[in-house]
A and B are shown apart, each in its own frame.
Chain A
């Protein structure tokens, strides 16, 4: 055994001198590892890592997009609401104004119609009065003449005198009427 040990020790070469077969096998062993990793396995995992990164960042991006959209929708909604309020206020104002104008117009119209009716009434009244006055005057003249004729007989046949008397009488009536009207 010790013989073998001595032989082995003598055969032990410089440990810094590489044996060629071991160099070859070492290279081969490393190339196997490098080949598999570089050819397939690391590209595989890189792809998946990239996908994972995208999945995470994509999720964040989506959330951000949703938030932005929600914000814009909210702003839009608020703007619409404000506009609607403004519109409503404007409409109310307008309606109020329109209503006021309508009332004023109607009031004016009513006033005008009333005045018209009153004026028409007055005119009618005046005309009626005049007609009545004229008819009355004629009737009273006729009646008075008739009465006077009956009382005085044929003495009053003198036409000129007759009409003078009547006129005087009627003037007296007019005076009385106007006096009565003034006192009334």
Chain B
């Protein structure tokens, strides 16, 4: 099913150390997939990442459908679990940053973002899938752009045209002579760099995490020859450790993404200082 050339090399060849075979290191090619359907050049294709993305959506919707379709005042086990997650984002993130009154409107967006990103990250360690969808820049970028559009339109709506620029440039008279410089930096940092960093933070974490996992997994197999077997064991232990670590990073990055989203929204809604 997978067209990942690295995985083909790591698990389906006899390439081992001392066999005159070079280490098939993971790289950018590890994040490219032959289309499952269609042609890669025609922009009309379907590959593993897309499949995982859609499958992930269905899983999330299915989970919440099962939990919240007919919710009860006295919750069952599934509803309790889903409620805990929902309440964590609602209270712990949205109410904490934006506030209950203004934040209520954005709860569905933030909750969707969190569970969507988490699921996409989780694919990284789910057997057979084993690829984080968010390590393809397109997925974090789409989410960051949604947040960006929301942030810009909210700032316009709340502060008007002049207020928007004051808000974006962090206009503050008390800065005096430094003001033009500060405004320029703030303008770039907020309006141009922000969506990029927002997306890349998630992307790079998952990209690096997947590369690390690949590295240790491939090394475990590659070293499985002669004295290398001892090192293969170490590498395998590292694979397990990194998998556990990734599990933590996946949740953390999803949390960071929605927390930043809330901070941006809060900044858009905030009055001038």
Contact = CB atoms under 8 A, between A and B. Distances in A.
Do A and B pair up? The answer is yes
Interface string A18-54: 1111110111111011101110111011011101100
Interface residues of A, number: 39
Contact of A18 (B24, B29, B54, B138): B138
A20 B45 CA distance: 11
A34 B108 contact: yes
Given A5-B9, A48-B72, A42 B57 contact: no
Given A26-B143, A42-B111, A4 B5 contact: yes
Interface stretch (B59-67, B213-221, B239-247): B59-67
Contacts of A47: 71
B174 interface: no
Contacts of B112: 30, 33-34, 37-38
Given A22-B139, A45-B71, A48-B73, A33 B65 contact: no
A27 to B, nearest CB: 5
Nearest to A9: B29
A151 interface: no
A128 B60 CA distance: 135
A29 B56 contact: yes
B104 to A, nearest CB: 9
Interface in B26-45: 27-29, 31-32, 43-45
Given A21-B50, A22-B50, A29-B54, A11 B32 contact: yes
The bracket for how many chain B residues form the interface is: 35 or more
Contacts of A41: 64-65, 67-69
B32 A23 contact: no
Nearest to B61: A36
Contact of B60 (A1, A26, A33): A33
A180 interface: no
Nearest to A48: B71
Contacts of A29: 53-54, 56-57, 116, 139
Nearest to B3: A8
Contact of A42 (B72, B86, B116): B86
A55 interface: yes
Contacts of B139: 22, 26, 29
Contacts of B70: 44
Contact of B142 (A27, A33, A40): A27
A173 to B, nearest CB: 128
Contacts of B13: 1
A44 B28 contact: no
Given A17-B137, A42-B86, A48-B72, A37 B142 contact: no
Nearest to A34: B112
Interface in B74-96: 79, 82-83, 86
A25 B108 contact: no
The 5 closest A-B pairs by CB, nearest first: A22-B138, A18-B138, A12-B28, A38-B108, A48-B71
11 contacts: A1-B9, A12-B27, A23-B138, A23-B141, A26-B139, A33-B61, A41-B67, A42-B86, A42-B107, A47-B71, A48-B71
Given A9-B27, A36-B64, A42-B108, 18 more contacts: A1-B13, A15-B136, A16-B200, A16-B203, A19-B138, A27-B142, A27-B146, A29-B53, A30-B112, A37-B64, A38-B108, A38-B112, A41-B68, A42-B68, A45-B79, A47-B71, A48-B71, A49-B83
Interface of A: 1, 4-5, 8-9, 11-12, 15-23, 25-30, 32-34, 36-38, 40-42, 44-45, 47-49, 51-52, 55
Interface of B: 5, 8-9, 13, 24, 27-29, 31-32, 43-46, 49-50, 53-54, 56-58, 60-61, 64-65, 67-73, 79, 82-83, 86, 107-109, 111-113, 115-116, 133, 136-139, 141-143, 146, 200, 203, 207
